[in-house]
Structure 1
């Protein structure tokens, strides 16, 4: 359902966060996210997936998701972003593309816990300030330290050779770890693994 790949990042991200668009990915944002906000982010994404899975197919286009979180800018200062997302390419089995708009709201909300809402469009019901609940399995309960390193690389979209070069291990070792990770995660494909890793908060 979810690979975490990005197709286009606006150049304005440099004005807000100081990073080049080419640097931005889901894994990069999570790495720069305020540690207090990461559990909220992971739980919000879990709820988003559960919500859209529960909707009739013809209702998906009538909902927008929004929540806020803090990201460390290149200058070391945390910026609070309001993340808004709508599904734009999907079928009855998968969501392929999401259009996201992230706005700097640091001046509007300098303090406070992240808030999560699902906004109904064209008369559909809305759900505001949905409360967070802890539902995630910690990665150390499932994976070794090396497996977590490799899992992070997989989520970042790196292939086995790139992972081997980065971690200074053999290609054979990487592939063996990947096989073990898939088995432990009870996933059949890398795409399933990435989706589950993000939804379950394993990275």
Structure 2
């Protein structure tokens, strides 16, 4: 494992607080209970501890999804996971984490940080030796004394194998007064530009809600805007993406990581 990667990661999540208490054990106990009832799928979850670069818990779908060693994942922590990542993406991935943390600490009020959730992607080498794209969605569970998120619940979705390269993207979304996510940060870490780069934060939120089956009226209420504004955004989105209808838009959004 590249020591520079470990050093850079540690610097991003540096904390001066010693984490104590039984809150983590309580969370893990409940998550283990829930994990018993989770169906087998290509999605798994982990409780990540950035202060120790460890996984406090790895769900049962980890091995079926990736074919990788769950015991090694638990014992070796993030070092084992990083060893599976595509070497060409390590620095881009670190830059995305740095930008997300910088944005959080400088732009998000300390009282609002518990409302923020983060999404990014990268490639890992699965058991058959091929690299597959992973979409990671992390929600903070605990913050240090400076308000830095240091322990999180991370959901990982192994995406279908495709020949087309998927650029690394980082997104931060924050819950509004209606408990609906609104995009507050988005950045692509690649020279490759797709049509999604033309999509605004507001349009991205509308696409996500369309994919959930919400009507224009529902979307307007959730995002505190008028129905006419939503319909205008929908027309603009279809024009920008060159999609003929909503079904084509949703399919393309999933494929290109716009949601």
Please indicate the TM-score interval, normalised by the length of the shorter structure.
0.5 to 0.7
- Aligned residue in 1 for 2:55: 6
Q: Is the 8 A contact 2:132 2:158 kept in 1?
A: yes
Matched, 1:126 2:183: yes
* Partner of residue 46 from structure 1, selected from 95, 98, 103: 98
Q: CA deviation at 1:20?
A: 2.4
Ranges in structure 2 where 5+ consecutive residues have no aligned partner: 1-14, 16-49, 191-259
Higher Rg: 2
Alignment partner, residue 138 of structure 1: none
Q: CA deviation at 1:128?
A: 5.3
Which residue is equivalent to 1:165? none
Query: By how many angstroms is 1:81 displaced?
Result: 0.5
Q: Post-superposition shift, 1:125?
A: 4.6
Q: TM-score, normalised by structure 1?
A: 0.58
Kept in 2, the 8 Å contact 1:9–1:21? The answer is: yes
TM-score, with structure 2 as normaliser = 0.46
Structure 1 residue 115: Cα displacement: 1.4
Cα distance in 2 for partners of 1:100, 1:87 equals: 9
Runs of 4+ deviating beyond 2 Å: 91-96, 106-112, 122-125
Please tell me whether the aligned partners of residues 81 and 103 of structure 1 are also in contact (alpha carbons under 8 angstroms): yes
Matched residue pairs, number? 133
Q: How far 1:109 moved relative to its partner?
A: 8.5
3-state SS, counterpart of residue 126 of structure 1: strand
> Residue 106 and residue 6 in structure 1: after superposition, are their counterparts in 2 closer, same or farther (change >3 A)?
same
Q: Hey, what's the Cα distance between the residues in 1 that align with 2:97 and 2:143?
A: 17
Shift in Å, 1:110: 4.6
Q: Deviations over 1:35-94 (max 9, x none)?
A: 222122111111122122222211101111101110001220112110011111114324
Distance 1:5 1:121 in 2: 28
Larger RCO (alpha carbons 8 Å, 6+ apart) = 1
Quote how far apart the aligned CAs of 1:122 are: 2.3
In 1, the alpha carbon distance for the partners of 2:154 and 2:162 equals: 20
Q: 1:110 to 1:28 in 2, by over 3 A?
A: farther
C-alpha separation between the residues in 2 aligned to 1:76 and 1:96?
31
Look up the match of 1:86.
Answer: 139
What's the Cα RMSD here? 2.3
Separation (CA, whole Å) in 2 of partners of 1:126 and 1:17: 30
Contact 1:87 1:97 in 2 (8 A): yes
Deviation digits for residues 23-43 of structure 1 (CA, Å, limit 9, x no counterpart): 222211221111222122111
